[in-house]
A and B are shown apart, each in its own frame.
Chain A
Amino acid sequence: MTQTMEQTETPTRSHEPIEKVSIVISKGSLEGIYPGLIMANGARMEGIEANVFFTFFGLDAITRGKQAKVKVATVGNPGLHMPTLAGAIPGVSALVTKKFASEMEKIDIPPIPEFIEMISDSGGALYGCQATVDMFGLDLEDFVPQVDEVITVGEFYEKSAGGQIIFT
C-alpha cells in the first residue's frame, strides 16, 4: 500500500513567484473592464511585469471619446439584482454607473482614463487587438496616446512568453 502511494504521488512543484502577466480585456462594460485594469495595476505594484491586450468591446477602455463613457450593464446583469425591465429604462445605466464611480472614488479607484494613464506610467504595456481594429475600421490614432501598439493575436502570444495569460 505504501509502495503504491509513493508511485502515484505527484512530484513536488516549486512555487516560483509570478514575474509576468498578460491580461486580456474583452468586454466593454464598466464591470467588464475594471477587473483587468485592477489586476494589471496590482501586478505592477508588486513589481510584476504587465501587458494588457484590449479586444472586441474592451477596446472602448482605450478609445478616445469612448473611455469616459463606459457604463455598467444594467440589462442582462443578474448580479445587480434589478428587474430586467427596470434596467432598460433610459438613464438607469447612467445612474448606476454614477453610483459605482462615487463608491470607487471613495476607495481610491480612479476613473478609466486616469487608470489607463496610471498603468502606462507604472510601466505596464497596453495593446489593441488587430482583428477588432480591422473589424471596426479603427487605427492607432483612434486610441489614447498610452497605447503602445496594435498587435495580432500571434504577437500577443509572443509578448506573453514566459508569463501567465489572464482572460477577462
Chain B
Amino acid sequence: MSTVTYAGTPVEVDSEGFLEDPAQWNEEIAAQIAAENGVGELNERHWMVVNYMRESFLENGEAPSIRTLGKASGVQIKELYELFPKGPAKLAAKVAGIPKPRGCI
C-alpha cells in the first residue's frame, strides 16, 4: 500500500494503483486516473460505465463481471472495449475508485 496524490488529494492505493478506500474517491481523481492509464479524457459513455461500476460495488460489495457490465451498464461489450481498450472491467474499476475485480469472467 502506498500514498499518491490525485487532484491535490492524497489517497491510499494498492500495488497496482487501485484505491484502497472507495470513500476517498471523487470525480477529479477519476479523471486523473483515466488520463494516467491510457483511457484519456472521460466522456459521457465512460461515465456511464464508471458510475455503474461504482454503484454496483457499493451496493453488492463486489465489482460486476464484464458480462453483467455489458448487459446492465447501458454500454454493450463492443463499445466497452472501445472505451477501455486495455481491459474494461479492470480499468473502469480503477477509474471508479473501487478494488480490482477478481472474477475470471
Determine chain B's interface SS by DSSP, over half rule.
helix
Taking residues whose C-beta sits less than 8 angstroms from the other chain, chain B's interface range is 10 to 19
Contacts of A45 in B (CB 8 A): 66, 87-90
Given contacts A46-B87, A46-B90, contact A107 B78 (CB under 8 A): no
Which residues in B have some Cβ–Cβ distance to A below 8 Å? 65-68, 70, 76-78, 80-81, 85-90, 103-105
What are 10 A-B contacts defined by CB distance under 8 Å? A38-B104, A46-B90, A47-B87, A108-B68, A109-B105, A118-B77, A121-B76, A122-B66, A122-B78, A123-B81
**Chain A count of residues within 8 A CB distance of the other chain:** 15
List A contacts of B86 (CB < 8 A). 47
Bound Cα distance A108, B105 (Å): 7
Contact check, A121 vs B81: say whether CB atoms are below 8 A apart: yes
- B105 and A107 contact, CB distance less than 8 A: yes
The 9 A-B pairs with the shortest beta carbon distances in the complex, nearest first, are A47-B86, A121-B77, A47-B87, A108-B65, A121-B78, A108-B105, A108-B67, A122-B81, A46-B87
